[in-house]
Homo-oligomer: A and B are copies of this chain.
Amino acid sequence: MKKQVQILTEKRSECPISCTMDLVGDKWSLLIIRDLLYLGKTSYNEFLNSREGISTNILNDRLVKLTEVGLITFTGTAKRKKYELTKMGHDLKPVLESVALFGIKHSTADKAFLQNVKKKMSL
């Protein structure tokens, strides 16, 4: 993980939107945050079993990076890690909410399912 130093300092601009996308602007990071925030998941295998099907190397990479940027931490032993959101990570909750509301608004999934999502997220 030698290039993590770069990733931590590499900012495309000072724009707060750009900076946030530098942290979580990929297809997987916010899904891990979602799992932690709404689905009660805390471990590698739980994230791995999410319906979107993240692969093991990507999951590992994202857990390392999210930890390094300070969005998540973990407790427990190396073989039984329990991940949790940091204070900074919890600050992403409004982002998850607005993203979910957009997704719900433009989803074609059935009403009952979407209603359940809203309930789970208190939306």
* Interface size class, chain A: 35 or more
Query: Which residue of chain B lies nearest to A25 when distances are taken between CB atoms in the complex?
Result: B27
In the complex, identify which listed stretch (A57-65, A75-83, A87-95) lies at the interface while the others stay far away: A87-95
A111 adjacent to chain B (CB < 8 Å): no
Contact B100 A98 (CB under 8 A): no
Contact A16 B103 (CB under 8 A): yes
A101 adjacent to chain B (CB < 8 Å): yes
Q: Which secondary structure characterizes the binding site on chain A?
A: helix
The interface residues of chain B lying within 8 Å CB-to-CB of A25 are 25-27, 30
**Chain B's nearest CB lies how many Å from the CB of A22?**
7
Do A12 and B103 contact each other (CB < 8 Å), given the known contacts A21-B27, A27-B26? no
A48 adjacent to chain B (CB < 8 Å): no
The interface residues of chain B lying within 8 Å CB-to-CB of A94 are 98, 101-102
In the A-B complex, the 7 residue pairs with the smallest Cβ-Cβ separation, listed nearest first, are A16-B103, A12-B52, A20-B103, A94-B98, A13-B51, A25-B27, A98-B98
**Residues on A facing B (Cβ under 8 Å):** 12-22, 25-27, 30-31, 34, 51-53, 88, 91-92, 94-107, 109, 113-114, 117
